[in-house]
Amino acid sequence: MTMTVIWTGMVVLSILCGLATGQGPAVASAAVEGAAAAVELALSIAGMLCLWTGVMEVMRRSGLADKLSRLLAPVLRRLFPQAAKDQDTMDSISANVSANLLGLGSAATPLGLEAARRLARRSPGTASDSLCMLVVCNTASIQLIPTTVASVRAAEGCTAPFDILPAVWLASALSVGVGIGACKIFARIWRD
Amino acid sequence: MDLLFTMLIPLTIAAIALYAAGRRVDVYSALVQGAGSGLETLTRIIPALIGLMTAVYMLRASGALELLAAALAPLLDRLGLPSELLPLMLVRPISGSAALGVGAELISTYGPDSQLGRTAAVMLGSTETTFYTIAVYFGAVGITKTRYAVPAALCADLTGFLAAAWAVRVCFE
pLDDT tens for B138-166 read 988 989 899 999 999 999 999 999 999 99
Closest-CA residue of A relative to B31 is: A54
In angstroms, the Cα distances linking A141 to A24, A145, B99 are: 38, 11, 14
pLDDT band of A124, cuts 50, 70, 90? confident
**What is the C-alpha radius of gyration for chain B, rounded to an integer number of angstroms?**
19
pLDDT at A104 over 70: yes
B49 closest CA partner among A36, A62, A122, A67: A36
pLDDT in the model for residue A60: 87
ipTM over 0.85: yes
A93 closest CA partner among A106, A102, A84: A84
Q: What is the mean pLDDT of residues A30-54?
A: 90
Three-state DSSP at B72 gives: helix
pTM: 0.89
In angstroms, the Cα distances linking B75 to B60, B80, B81, B115, B160 are: 21, 9, 9, 20, 17
Q: Would you call A50 an interface residue with chain B, using a CB distance cutoff of 8 Å?
A: yes
Inter-chain touch B37–A183, beta carbons under 8 Å: no
Inter-chain touch B148–A27, beta carbons under 8 Å: no
pLDDT at A105 over 90: no
**Which residues of B fall within a CB distance of 8 Å from A150?**
121, 125
pLDDT per 10-residue tile (average), chain B, 173 residues: 74 92 94 91 87 90 88 91 93 90 94 95 94 90 91 95 96 86
Count other Cβ atoms within 10 Å, centred on residue A7.
Answer: 17
pLDDT in the model for residue B1: 62
**What is the C-alpha radius of gyration for chain A, rounded to an integer number of angstroms?**
21
B124 closest CA partner among B108, B102, B109: B102
pLDDT in the model for residue B2: 67
Instruction: Give A46-73 pLDDT, tens digit per residue.
Output: 988 899 889 989 988 998 888 888 899 9
Name the minimum distance, in Å, from the CA of B66 to any CA of chain A. 11
pLDDT in the model for residue B106: 94
**Which residues of B fall within a CB distance of 8 Å from A176?**
156
Q: Would you call B33 an interface residue with chain A, using a CB distance cutoff of 8 Å?
A: yes
B36 or A110, which is more confident?
B36
